[in-house]
Homo-oligomer: A and B are copies of this chain.
Amino acid sequence: MSDYNPKASTDHRICFVGDSFVQGTSDQLCLGWAGRLIQSAVARRINITHYNLGIRRDTSRDIAARWEAECAARLPADCEQLLVFSFGVNDTSIYEGSLRVPEQESLANCQSILSTATARYKTLMIGPPPMPDASHNRRVAQLDQQFADIAAGLNVPYLSVFEVLRKDEHWLKEAIANDFAHPRQQGYERLAGLVQDWSEWWFK
């Protein structure tokens, strides 16, 4: 750890907006992948304030309805304004016989959220993680691809994590042992590592 970091003097404010995977549900450390990334940046003396705006069960529809007001209250204009989204698993889950959010609406929500966000804030998106359910996963994988295309069209950097986490030795194993959805400490650690190693991540 060096004593000097060029990012130490800038007042960075970052919002992580998404679902339970963003919130860090079932993480014993109560940090999730977002908290781990920020802890690591702070350890390298980066001046950063983070707001975890992940909400359990949130779909792209829920996020579309709240992200603007929640981020505006947290990202003042005189700071470095940063925003990371991650959602999609809940859109593709089946509730009472139908998809919680129809595919076309998920895509429209993603397009609308990212286009508005990137006009105001530096914006990144992390794709949805895998679930221990093959048919659910086919839908997640498809949405992940479509979200990546939307992000590319808007020049929003997008990190797909689906395939890597599907093959990860901990993610699905922890999810199955837990609640058939959320990993625990090692899964979140792994996802944090994927973002940390990503060339587009701000705090290297």
CB within 8 Å of B: which residues of A? 13, 20, 23, 25, 28-31, 35, 38-39, 42-43, 49-52, 55-58, 62, 66, 69-70, 73-74, 76
Q: Is the CB–CB distance between A29 and B23 below 8 Å?
A: no
| Cα of A106 to Cα of B42 in the assembled complex, Å | 33
Q: Is the CB–CB distance between B66 and A56 below 8 Å?
A: no
Of B28, B49, B66, B74, which contacts A25 at CB under 8 A? B49
Q: Is the CB–CB distance between A42 and B69 below 8 Å?
A: no
Q: A29-B39, A30-B31, A73-B62 are in contact. Are A23 and B49 (CB under 8 A)?
A: yes
**Taking CB as reference atom, which chain B residue is nearest A34?**
B30
Of B28, B29, B43, B55, which contacts A51 at CB under 8 A? B55
Q: A51-B55, A56-B49, A73-B55 are in contact. Are A30 and B39 (CB under 8 A)?
A: yes
Which residues of chain B are within 8 angstroms of A66 by Cβ–Cβ distance? 69, 73
Q: Is the CB–CB distance between A28 and B42 below 8 Å?
A: yes
Which residues of chain B are within 8 angstroms of A30 by Cβ–Cβ distance? 31, 35, 38-39, 42, 50
